Amino acid sequence: MLFGARSVSSIGDGIATVALAFAVLGFGGPSELGIVLLAREITIVAFLLPAGVLADRLPRRWLSATSDFVRAAAQAVSAALVLTGTATVLRLVLLQALFGAASACFRPTETGLMPEAVSAPRLQQANAFVELVRSASYIVGPALGGVLVVAIGAGWTLAAGGACYGLGAALLTRLRIPRGPRIVRASFAYDFRQGFRELLSRSWVYSMVGAFGLYQLVTYPPLIVLGPYVAKQSLGGAPAWGAVVACGGAGYLVGGVLALRTTTRRPLVGTCVTTALFTLQFVLLGVHAPLPAIAAAALVGGAGMSVGNVFWVTTLQRNVPRDALSRISAFDWFGSSALNPIGYAVVGPVAGALGAGTTLIAAGAAQLGLISLPLLSRSVRALEREPMLVEPDPAQV
């Protein structure tokens, strides 16, 4: 049930992204689309930390299902507005803000729900399966969304994306989770502070979260903004960039398969090493290497990122108490998302001053440095695969 819910929701993400873009472009331009998407992303970042507290206070199965139901409703109303010709930027901004708040609740809840549904020895394989279907959805979802937009229009395609979330929610309501011990909860603010203390008490967690927050700053904004520009200038345009992106998506699929069987005694070291493979494509783009070399590097980088993500999530689930897991996951998601808007704001001016190629090479070098920083911490290097603590603090039960 959990795997099915994750599968249909991930496909719904891909469908909805394409449908929303063409729905907005049907009555506006790039600026209007940017405003609508910004409303969603800002809301996700703003609600992540409170969502982590909620996910540790409430039954995760029902919170996850509610998040999917709310996302389904937001997309359904958006579809109705588009189909009736009454959609405006303001209305879609409000609906996508609601969608973003629900997505913020879904993310840390997802991390905490997996150990409740899967035995500890099988956590990595379960996370690998979810990573595999999520990677496949990066290819299948947008492709299906594009076909549906052409065939039935953006409005009905938005409705189809909403239906995927609704189906995911329905599957989650049928998930049977054994009842755990009842945890005595204090105030919301107290739980937030306790979650922050849990974060600070584990140097391996805040070392990785801090490094990856900075890593994201110099990774996706340069790639998404400057990659198409370099492809247009020297690789042959949109088809060439489409090939690079497709190879990256294929790499994520390969990584999901590898993560089913690949283990390492030092999972955090493995996370850093495999994630570092993502930097190669930046250097090759920066020096205007041939398209096949860049596409191959994107495939290898996608595989490394996928394996590293499975190692990291599984390590959190095995070594953080379950009653604090969603709060720690929320800090992780927040650290990975909060700086992205800054990256998108500065990458253009930096590239204008240094040149696109130099900026990409510098971004690759910065990624290598940042992903190596956690390895300076002994707690990161020493953490082993065996679980340390997964049960609630007995004093709180």
Domain span(s) for CATH 1.20.1250.20 in the chain: 2-122+133-177, 194-385
Which CATH number describes the domain made up of 2-122+133-177? Answer: 1.20.1250.20
pLDDT of residue 392: 47
Residue 236 CA: distances (Å) to CA of 139, 182, 246, 247, 280: 22, 60, 16, 16, 20
What secondary structure letter does DSSP report for 322?
T
**Integer angstrom CA distances of residue 286 from 264, 275, 312, 355:** 32, 19, 29, 9
Closest by CA to 112, choosing from 103, 121, 102, 123, is 123
Which two three-digit tokens encode residue 30? 């790039």
Report the C-alpha gap between 96 and 78 in whole angstroms.
9
Residue 183's pLDDT is 55
Q: What are phi and psi of 174, to 5 degrees?
A: -95, 0
Cα–Cα distance for residue pair 8/12, rounded to 1 Å: 6
The reported pLDDT for the residue numbered 357 is: 85
pLDDT attached to residue 331: 81
Sequence length of the chain is 397
For 218, counting Cβ atoms within 10 Å of its Cβ (0-12 exposed, 13-18 middle, 19+ buried), the class is buried
Task: Give the CB-side neighbour count of residue 395, counting CA atoms within 13 A.
Answer: 0
Which pLDDT belongs to residue 81?
Answer: 92
Which residues, other chains included, contact 181 with Cβ-Cβ below 8 Å and sequence gap of 6+? 392, 397
Within the chain, which residues score under 50 in pLDDT?
182, 388-397
pLDDT at 397: 43
**Predicted local confidence at residue 141, as pLDDT:** 76
Could you tell me the two tokens for 67?
């998040």
302, 315, 371 from 111: Cα distances, Å: 21, 11, 22
The pLDDT assigned to 178 comes to 67
Contact 192, 327 (CB under 8 A): yes
Q: How many C-beta atoms surround the C-beta of residue 266 within 10 A?
A: 18
Give per-residue pLDDT as tens, 38-47. 788 788 888 8
Q: What is this structure's pTM?
A: 0.73
How far is CA 105 from each of CA 56, 140, 173, rounded to the nearest angstrom?
11, 25, 16
Give me the architecture of the 194-385 domain, per CATH. Answer: Up-down Bundle (1.20)
